[in-house]
């Protein structure tokens, strides 16, 4: 790690449209400050591209503080880049060295088609949520919040699973492009809580079936998802999902 | 009255609030009196909801449950990305689960006082009242709030209050509440009651016979301008903090939808009321794209200090106790580090102005956890703030368990917004405004953990009632997108993009935005003067001229083009920035987040002028080359005594 300005050799995925084949394009970027975030580095590159009269790189971003789940870049082959438990918007350039080659690609999965450059369509996740990632409680019909005690340990565990930001890195990292960690996290959160009980069986069946419909693969325990998850969601979510699924038939 | 910057009109705005006999009965009386729509008729009405953050998602879900047909538009690829997701600290509710003397009245009183007596009593009381139901609703949805070992909900204390009434889910309360509202929304999408339209940016409001009857929106994937009709439009598009370029807002947060409504006749209220959050990570360089906030809940256990001496260069851990100035504890002994946000922010600026700021830029103060770690143990501190500490280390490379954090204020929330009446309806019939996009409940300053409360109050528990009253009271014949008002709106927005793409100048939209932001931050930021504001208006006008003649934009409009989107939003920030400065110039007093250097007490606190400024300043658009008009809503205080805010 250095505090000196760096020069980086970037290889960035460019693709005009979903139909376009796409290719890696080389850029050299100098004066990269180690305190910059990765996305700020791309901002600087885009300023140079625009000044040359060319079309800037498209990449998805919003909160830039690791919570909205918009940013989605594969950096040197790793979803969200080299720093563990970190969305790429929170990755800082101090983790790179002068002269490094940095390859930047979009999520790659059948269920996440590329829209343009580094932007993919992740609406499949919304449809999985739509299939059952909720408790059917009408506004205004809830009992007092303290009417149902929930042990601290259980509540904390539910929160661990609820921390998912829906970025899709788990899918991007999985050799099968499985959405099991994403789906398992929501199912585990609701299976742990008494609120999730009434719809427990239909929820797991519908969400799991929706994963198949969307074209995600199945889980074969590579655990790559857990390794890249910016929120550290535990792969036990997938075991829980499987248990819930089988349980739903009895 | 007319001056160089605005016209003042005689007419007064009426809030439409119910009779103010008893504060605690106003909302229930109002609900009994307003009209209902029968289930059969609800099905006939399409409601357009713009934005899917806390306010939008909760409103869309609740209205769909009632039987309305809802179209929900979001600029994001998924409703779950809305910026509500980033709120960390918590949500207030007067549950009194802690047995520490909290009541609805006390939450109301704290909110009114925290807002420096510039909000409407009736709205603020209603907000406090429905706060109880919000917690019930969220828990029923499966929101995993923090709990005690006995299984009951835990609370923490927050700035501006002497009771513990804040519910939280680690440092991710906004995320969990948004995911709750999002799940409710997706439940209704599944049932076919909500049509979800992602990656759509509302660019204009369409009025027919004077009523809001639709919108035009750009499909951000294809660039196509699409037209949507409805019986009413709900604007839930958040605040305008990104006018400052550097803020804690997400990059896509913008004022465009609200601003285009302003230009169609909705009044914009109190644009100069912005909130500066005291605990953000300081800027590190000129490439900086945004600032990161850390929850002010950190102030519960962290102590704010700077060195006593100017020019102190030692490592903070080497500076002995006797040479540190815990200035908040010293100046405000009863609230200490928990003074409201504006007071905490301004005091940080003062010590930095004195040259006692820390870090490489001198624009930061310390937030020190050493005492709390000694008292409670590292584990307790980690359980409370672990994710915030990690985030801090990730960004700065420094470990806050071992040395104090460096913090500095940043723009965070905007109290101003489109003017709404008690029913949350703007001055355009049928256009309702919810959440941060309206001006209504926080006066001149918002208390911590109250934004989530307001967004959800508006969406879950206010609009489902008040929208019905509008629908039942008005004749709303079907309109078609063939109506010429749609064609006119489409033409206007297309022409603006064509113009921006054709300039082919030398300066990028990012450069313009950064420059505009710097002007607004310097002159319409933490501390304001008449001279500075006048200068800012001139500078903004000049830069705006340059924007329209020297903008460099590449790419095309009929495709995904993030920089084109950005340019459209910056064009509106120029106009808004000018109005913010005019509003700040006209308000010759200090209140809450609006601090005029020429109006302060001997102790340097905000000095209100209740005699002349106890009103909401609503601004009416009269044309691009015309001065805006000021129209007032007088604020009457029947239940609280106006006092000089004191947190000593």
Mutate one of B61, B70, B183 to test the A interface: name it (highest A CB count within 10 A). Answer: B183
Of A44, A61, A143, the CB nearest to B136: A143
| Residue B579 covered by a domain | yes
Instruction: Classify residue B139 by its DSSP letter.
Output: H
CA A128 to chain centre: 14
Cβ of B136 within 8 Å of Cβ of A90? The answer is no
Of A64, A150, A189, the CB nearest to B147: A150
- pLDDT of residue B644 exceeding 80, the answer is no
Of B133, B141, B511, the CB nearest to A137: B141
Half-sphere exposure of B498 (CA within 13 A, CB side): 7
| Residue B16 covered by a domain | no
Convert the pLDDT of each residue in B587-638 to its tens digit: 999 999 999 999 998 877 889 999 999 999 999 999 999 999 999 999 999 9
Final residue before a domain boundary, out of B379, B412, B445: B412
Chain A residues in contact with B187 (beta carbon < 8 A): 130, 134, 136
Cβ of A122 within 8 Å of Cβ of B78? The answer is yes
| Residue B559 covered by a domain | yes
Final residue before a domain boundary, out of B394, B412, B430: B412
Convert the pLDDT of each residue in A154-210 to its tens digit: 999 999 999 999 999 999 999 999 999 999 999 999 999 999 999 999 999 999 999
- pLDDT of residue B331 exceeding 90, the answer is yes
| Phi-psi group of B425: left, alpha or beta (phi > 0 → left; psi -120 to 50 → alpha; rest → beta) | beta
Convert the pLDDT of each residue in B173-205 to its tens digit: 999 999 999 999 999 999 999 999 999 999 999
Neighbours of A98 (CB within 10 A): 13
User: Could you tell me the pLDDT band of residue B505, with boundaries at 50, 70 and 90?
Assistant: very high
Cβ of B144 within 8 Å of Cβ of A134? The answer is no
At B208, phi and psi to the nearest 5?
A: -130, 130
Cβ of A152 within 8 Å of Cβ of B552? The answer is no
Chain A residues in contact with B552 (beta carbon < 8 A): 50-51
Do B55 and B456 touch, CB atoms closer than 8 A? yes
Cβ of B147 within 8 Å of Cβ of A152? The answer is yes
At A126, phi and psi to the nearest 5?
A: -60, -40
Indicate whether B165 and B147 sit together in one domain. yes
Chain B residues in contact with A67 (beta carbon < 8 A): 85-86, 172, 175
Indicate whether B171 and B295 sit together in one domain. no
Chain B residues in contact with A190 (beta carbon < 8 A): 142
Convert the pLDDT of each residue in B114-152 to its tens digit: 899 999 999 999 999 999 999 999 999 999 999 999 999
Distance to chain A for B485, nearest Cα, Å: 32
CATH number, domain of B594, equals: 1.20.58.100
| Residue B8 covered by a domain | no
Q: Is A165 on the interface with B (CB under 8 A)?
A: yes
- pLDDT of residue B322 exceeding 80, the answer is yes
pLDDT for residue A2: 47
Number of compact structural domains in chain B: 3
Describe the strand order of the beta sheet including A23-32 as a list of residue ranges. Answer: A23-32, A6-14, A101-105, A74-75, A78-79
- CA gap A38, B119 in Å, rounded: 42
Which residues span the domain enclosing B605?
Answer: 484-633
pLDDT for residue B589: 97
Cβ of A159 within 8 Å of Cβ of B397? The answer is no
Cβ of B508 within 8 Å of Cβ of A125? The answer is no
Q: Give the nearest chain A residue to B182 (CA atoms).
A: A134
Of A137, A165, A190, the CB nearest to B140: A137
Cβ of B78 within 8 Å of Cβ of A193? The answer is no
Convert the pLDDT of each residue in B452-479 to its tens digit: 999 999 999 999 999 999 999 999 999 9
Q: Give the nearest chain A residue to B169 (CA atoms).
A: A159
pLDDT for residue B603: 73
Neighbours of B472 (CB within 10 A): 13
List the catalytic residues of B. 341
Describe the strand order of the beta sheet including B365-368 as a list of residue ranges. Answer: B274-280, B405-414, B365-368, B303-307, B324-325
Cβ of B170 within 8 Å of Cβ of A51? The answer is no
Chain A residues in contact with B515 (beta carbon < 8 A): none
- pLDDT of residue B1 exceeding 70, the answer is no
Cβ of B464 within 8 Å of Cβ of A151? The answer is no
pLDDT for residue A1: 41
Describe the strand order of the beta sheet including B232-235 as a list of residue ranges. Answer: B194-197, B69-73, B46-50, B232-235, B431-433
- CA gap A159, B426 in Å, rounded: 38
pLDDT for residue B602: 80
CATH number, domain of B134, equals: 3.50.50.60
Indicate whether B439 and B547 sit together in one domain. no
Indicate whether B294 and B254 sit together in one domain. no
Mean pLDDT of chain B: 95
- Report A:44-73 residues touching B (Cβ under 8 A): 44, 46-47, 49-51, 53-56, 58, 60-70
| Residue B21 covered by a domain | no
Determine the 3-state secondary structure of B87 from DSSP.
coil
Beta strands in chain A (DSSP E): 6-14, 23-32, 74-75, 78-79, 101-105, 114-116, 119-120
Enter the tokens of residue A152: 């601290």
Instruction: State mean pLDDT over A236-248.
Output: 98
Chain B residues in contact with A40 (beta carbon < 8 A): 287-289
- CA gap B108, A203 in Å, rounded: 40
Chain A residues in contact with B78 (beta carbon < 8 A): 122-123, 125-126, 166
Indicate whether B281 and B249 sit together in one domain. no
Q: Between these two residues, B387 and A245, which has the higher pLDDT value?
A: A245
Q: Give the nearest chain A residue to B96 (CA atoms).
A: A146
Instruction: State mean pLDDT over A49-77.
Output: 97
Distance to chain B for A81, nearest Cα, Å: 14
Indicate whether B177 and B284 sit together in one domain. no
Distance to chain A for B171, nearest Cα, Å: 10
- CA gap B527, B591 in Å, rounded: 11
Q: Give the nearest chain B residue to A93 (CA atoms).
A: B395
Indicate whether B74 and B210 sit together in one domain. yes
Instruction: State mean pLDDT over B254-279.
Output: 97
Strand pairing partners for A217?
A178
- pLDDT of residue B645 exceeding 90, the answer is no
Distance to chain B for A174, nearest Cα, Å: 22
Mutate one of B287, B458, B501 to test the A interface: name it (highest A CB count within 10 A). Answer: B287
Enter the tokens of residue B264: 């169609």
Instruction: State mean pLDDT over A111-135.
Output: 98
- pLDDT of residue B277 exceeding 50, the answer is yes
Indicate whether B100 and B230 sit together in one domain. yes
- pLDDT of residue A49 exceeding 70, the answer is yes
Contacting residues for B642 by C-beta, under 8 A, at least 6 apart: B117, B608, B610, B614
User: Could you tell me the pLDDT band of residue B89, with boundaries at 50, 70 and 90?
Assistant: confident
Indicate whether B238 and B97 sit together in one domain. yes
Neighbours of A121 (CB within 10 A): 16
Q: Give the nearest chain A residue to B133 (CA atoms).
A: A140
Neighbours of A8 (CB within 10 A): 19
Mutate one of B289, B360, B388 to test the A interface: name it (highest A CB count within 10 A). Answer: B289
CA distances, B419 to each of A72, B120, B208, B423, B431 (Å):
38, 12, 20, 11, 11
Do B55 and B435 touch, CB atoms closer than 8 A? yes
- Residue A64's Cβ-count burial label (10 Å; 0-12, 13-18, 19+) is buried
Domains, chain A, ranges and CATH?
6-115 (3.10.20.30), 122-247 (1.10.1060.10)
Cβ of B176 within 8 Å of Cβ of A62? The answer is no
pLDDT for residue B294: 87
Instruction: State mean pLDDT over B268-288.
Output: 93
Final residue before a domain boundary, out of B367, B387, B412: B412
CA A72 to chain centre: 7
- CA gap A108, B92 in Å, rounded: 42
CA B8 to chain centre: 26
Convert the pLDDT of each residue in B353-380 to its tens digit: 899 999 988 889 999 999 999 999 999 9
Distance to chain B for A115, nearest Cα, Å: 8
- Nearest alpha carbon to residue B205 among B433, B12, B415: B433
| Residue tagged 């999902």 (tokens) | A241
Convert the pLDDT of each residue in B100-116 to its tens digit: 999 999 999 999 998 99
Mean pLDDT of chain A: 97
Chain A residues in contact with B169 (beta carbon < 8 A): 159, 162
Cβ of A63 within 8 Å of Cβ of B86? The answer is yes
Determine the 3-state secondary structure of B461 from DSSP.
helix
Indicate whether B256 and B146 sit together in one domain. yes
**Portion of chain A with pLDDT greater than 70, in percent:** 99
pLDDT for residue A3: 63
User: Could you tell me the pLDDT band of residue B387, with boundaries at 50, 70 and 90?
Assistant: confident
| Residue B15 covered by a domain | no
pLDDT for residue B3: 87
- CA gap B322, B318 in Å, rounded: 11
Q: What is the ipTM of this complex?
A: 0.98
pLDDT for residue B103: 97
Indicate whether B211 and B241 sit together in one domain. yes
Beta strands in B211-273 (DSSP E): 211-219, 225-229, 232-235, 268-269
pTM: 0.96
pLDDT for residue B340: 79
At B144, phi and psi to the nearest 5?
A: -85, 75
Convert the pLDDT of each residue in B159-176 to its tens digit: 778 899 999 998 899 999
Indicate whether B261 and B335 sit together in one domain. no
- CA gap B234, B244 in Å, rounded: 26
Q: Is A213 on the interface with B (CB under 8 A)?
A: no
- CA gap B28, B318 in Å, rounded: 59
Do B476 and B211 touch, CB atoms closer than 8 A? yes
User: Could you tell me the pLDDT band of residue B643, with boundaries at 50, 70 and 90?
Assistant: confident
Cβ of A134 within 8 Å of Cβ of B95? The answer is no
Chain B residues in contact with A86 (beta carbon < 8 A): 394
């Amino acid at each position: 790690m250095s505090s000196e300005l760096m020069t980086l050799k970037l290889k960035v995925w460019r693709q005009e449209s979903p139909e376009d084949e796409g290719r890696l394009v080389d850029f050299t970027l100098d004066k990269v400050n180690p305190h910059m975030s990765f996305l700020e580095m791309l901002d600087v590159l885009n300023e140079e591209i625009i000044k040359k009269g060319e079309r800037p790189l498209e990449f998805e971003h919003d909160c830039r503080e690791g919570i909205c789940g918009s940013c989605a870049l594969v950096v040197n082959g790793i979803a969200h880049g080299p720093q563990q438990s970190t969305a790429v918007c929170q990755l800082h350039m101090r983790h790179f060295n002068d002269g490094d080659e940095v390859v930047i690609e979009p999520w790659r999965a059948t269920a996440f088609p590329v829209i343009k450059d580094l932007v993919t369509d992740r609406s499949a996740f919304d449809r999985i949520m739509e299939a059952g990632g909720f408790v059917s409680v009408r506004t205004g019909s809830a009992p007092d919040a303290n009417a149902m005690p929930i042990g601290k340990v259980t509540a904390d565990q539910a929160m661990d699973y609820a921390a998912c930001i829906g970025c899709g890195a788990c899918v991007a990292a999985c050799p099968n492009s499985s959405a099991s960690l994403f789906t398992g996290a929501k199912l585990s959160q609701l299976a742990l809580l008494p609120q999730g009980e009434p719809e427990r069986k239909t929820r797991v069946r519908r969400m799991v079936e929706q994963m198949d419909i969307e074209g995600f693969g199945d889980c074969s325990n590579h655990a790559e998802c857990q390794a890249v998850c910016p929120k550290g969601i535990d792969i036990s979510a997938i075991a829980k999902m499987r248990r819930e699924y089988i349980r739903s038939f009895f | 009255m007319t001056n160089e910057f605005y016209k003042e009109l005689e007419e007064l705005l009426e809030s439409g609030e119910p009779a103010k006999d008893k504060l605690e009965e106003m909302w229930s009386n109002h609900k009994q009196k307003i009209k209902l729509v029968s289930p059969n008729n609800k099905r006939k009405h399409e409601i357009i909801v713009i934005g899917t953050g806390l306010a939008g998602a909760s409103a869309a879900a609740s209205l769909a449950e009632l039987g309305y047909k809802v179209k929900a538009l979001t600029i994001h690829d998924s409703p779950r990305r809305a910026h509500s997701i980033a709120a960390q600290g918590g949500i207030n509710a007067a549950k009194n689960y802690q047995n520490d003397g909290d009541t609805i009245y006390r939450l109301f009183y704290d909110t009114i006082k925290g807002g420096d007596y510039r909000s409407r009593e009736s709205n603020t009381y209603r907000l406090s009242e429905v706060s109880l139901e919000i917690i019930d609703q969220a828990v029923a949805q499966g929101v995993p709030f923090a709990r005690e070992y006995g299984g009951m909900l835990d609370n923490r204390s927050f700035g501006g209050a002497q009771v513990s009434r804040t519910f939280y889910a680690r440092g991710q309360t906004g995320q969990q509440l948004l995911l709750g509202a999002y799940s409710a929304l997706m439940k209704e999408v599944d049932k076919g009651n909500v049509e979800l339209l992602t990656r759509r940016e509302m660019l204009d409001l369409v009025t027919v016979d004077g009523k809001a009857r639709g919108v035009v929106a750009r499909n951000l994937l294809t660039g196509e301008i699409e037209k949507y009709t409805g019986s009413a439009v709900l604007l839930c598009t958040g605040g305008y903090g990104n006018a400052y370029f550097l803020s804690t807002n997400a990059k896509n947060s913008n004022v465009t939808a609200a601003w285009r409504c302003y230009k169609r006749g909705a009044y914009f209220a109190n644009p100069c009321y912005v909130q500066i959050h005291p605990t953000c990570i300081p800027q590190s360089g000129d490439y900086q794209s945004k600032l990161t906030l850390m929850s002010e809940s950190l102030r519960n256990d962290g102590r704010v200090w700077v060195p006593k001496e100017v020019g102190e260069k030692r490592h903070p851990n080497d500076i002995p106790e006797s040479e540190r100035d815990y200035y908040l504890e010293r100046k405000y002994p009863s609230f200490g580090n928990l003074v409201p946000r504006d007071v905490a922010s301004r005091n940080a600026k003062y010590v930095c102005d004195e040259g006692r700021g820390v870090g490489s830029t001198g624009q930061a103060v310390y937030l020190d956890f050493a005492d709390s770690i000694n008292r409670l143990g590292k584990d307790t501190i980690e359980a409370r703030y672990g994710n915030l500490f990690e985030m801090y280390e990730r960004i700065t490379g420094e470990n806050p368990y071992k040395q104090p954090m460096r913090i500095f204020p940043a723009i965070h929330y905007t109290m101003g917004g489109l003017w709404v009446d008690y029913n949350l309806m703007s001055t355009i019939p049928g256009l309702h405004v919810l959440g941060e996009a309206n001006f209504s409940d926080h006066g001149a300053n918002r208390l911590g953990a109250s934004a989530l409360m307001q967004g959800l109050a508006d969406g879950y528990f206010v609009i489902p009632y008040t929208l019905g009253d509008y629908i039942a009271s008005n004749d709303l014949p079907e309109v078609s997108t063939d109506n010429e008002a749609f064609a006119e709106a489409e033409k206007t927005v297309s022409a603006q993009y064509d113009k921006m793409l054709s300039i082919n100048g030398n300066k990028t939209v990012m450069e313009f935005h950064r420059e505009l932001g710097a002007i607004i931050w310097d002159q319409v930021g933490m501390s304001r003067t008449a001279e500075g504001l006048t200068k800012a208006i001139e500078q903004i006008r000049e830069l705006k001229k340059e924007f329209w003649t020297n903008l460099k934009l590449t790419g095309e409009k009929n495709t995904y083009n993030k920089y084109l989107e950005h340019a459209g939003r910056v064009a509106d920030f120029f106009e808004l920035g000018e109005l913010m400065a005019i509003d700040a110039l006209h308000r010759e007093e200090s209140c809450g987040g609006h601090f005029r250097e020429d109006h302060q007490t001997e102790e340097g606190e905000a000095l209100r002028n209740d005699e002349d400024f106890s009103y909401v300043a609503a601004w009416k658009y009269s044309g691009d080359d015309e001065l805006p008009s000021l129209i007032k809503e007088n604020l009457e205080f029947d239940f609280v005594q106006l006092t000089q805010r004191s947190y000593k």
